[in-house]
Structure 1
Amino acid sequence: MEKNTEPSWYALYTKSRAEKKVYEELKMLGIETYLPLKREQRQWSDRKKWVEVPVISSYIFIKIKPQQYRDVFNARGVVAYVSHKGQAVAIPEREIEAMRRTVENKLAFSVESDTLKKGEKVTITSGPLKGIEGEVEEIQGKKKLYLRISHIGYMLVLNLDEVERNG
């Protein structure tokens, strides 16, 4: 946990399939919470149904001040903070915003793979994701760009229109 008094974003591990319950309990505790969801069609033996499921299973994101650090454990289903060497790791606001905008907009983009290289820093220059920064983790074909969300071991897979190099 950082030593400042400003709120920061953190990722929490939850018990399996407890993300929505944890989300509701944290909100009731007055904690700013983000649970990215996607719609999926599920098949049961007798029917199909559209359901909202977490984009990343067993993760929920919270924005808290240092004095709220222990409060999150009052929500049933919280397992632990995503941490490094025993310290909760803050997630940059821009990465939460990138995830939020990616999930909410469900946009299709394109990119020319020969202009980008693995490890290169990029900024999206048009569309609803304008201003989002990331690092090229992998390029697959001409349409997919993988942007790493630091500290949680996941990447956003984006199809991009225009990418401008930082630099």
Structure 2
Amino acid sequence: MKNWYVVYTKPKWEKKVAEQLTKIGIECYCPLITQVRQWSDRKKKVIVPLFNSYIFVQLADSDRNLVFQSAGAVRYLFWLGKPAIVRDEEIGTIKKWLETPDAYDFSIDSIQVGDKITLESGPFSAQEAVVREVNKTHYVLVLESLGCVLKMKHV
């Protein structure tokens, strides 16, 4: 059975490692986003990894050492003494999130820090979240099932 594992890479090597591993037949996923970077003389859109120094690889447990054929692969991410396994649904959620537009319609009525809510739209629809922060410009939500923090601007 093939599982998704998280591989820690050298800084700025995420795309190179994913490309090298794909060439030797390992299924890789390096989620990428477009950001606008500001230099003193110009602005430019650049494509950067969503997670710095991490990529996902799908392979059998017995083939885990193959990733070290890439010079940029450093180690696996471990959880409770074992290589961390990412569920297919979580990879699917990341892909779905990256494929959807940047703006989402949502409304939150009189919520308070500590409330549990279920998101109704966007890439994280049907996910439960705990409200960590509410202020004039944004909300900060913790998606415990995905182990991430989501910052949403007021619309």
Partner of residue 96 from structure 1, selected from 78, 81, 91: 91
Q: CA deviation at 1:125?
A: 5.2
Q: Does 1:59 align with 2:54?
A: yes
Structure 2, unmatched stretches of 5+, are none
Counterpart in the other structure of 2:130? 136
Q: 1:119/1:28 Cα in 2 relative to 1: closer, same or farther (>3 Å)?
A: farther
Q: CA deviation at 1:15?
A: 0.6
TM-score when scaled to structure 1?
0.71
RMSD between superposed Cα atoms in Å: 3.1
1:146, 1:158 within 8 Å by CA — same for their partners in 2? no
Summarize the alignment of residues 1-167 of structure 1 with structure 2, pairs less than 5 Å apart. Answer: 6-105=1-100, 106-112=102-108, 114=110, 118=114, 120=116, 122=118, 133-136=127-130, 138=132, 140=134, 145-148=141-144, 149-150=146-147, 154-157=148-151
CA distance in structure 2 between the aligned counterparts of 1:55 and 1:16, rounded to whole angstroms: 13
Describe the SS at the equivalent of 1:51. Answer: strand
Q: Alignment identity in percent?
A: 32
1:99, 1:156 within 8 Å by CA — same for their partners in 2? no
Q: CA deviation at 1:145?
A: 3.7
User: Alignment length, in residue pairs?
Assistant: 151
Q: 1:86/1:30 Cα in 2 relative to 1: closer, same or farther (>3 Å)?
A: same
- What letter corresponds to residue 77 of structure 1 in structure 2? G
Q: CA deviation at 1:52?
A: 0.2
TM-score when scaled to structure 2?
0.75
Q: Cα deviations across residues 91-137 of structure 1 (Å, max 9, x unaligned)?
A: 12222111111122134231425468748474x55566556x35436
- What letter corresponds to residue 104 of structure 2 in structure 1? A
Moved over 2 A (4+): 41-49, 113-122, 124-131, 133-150, 154-159
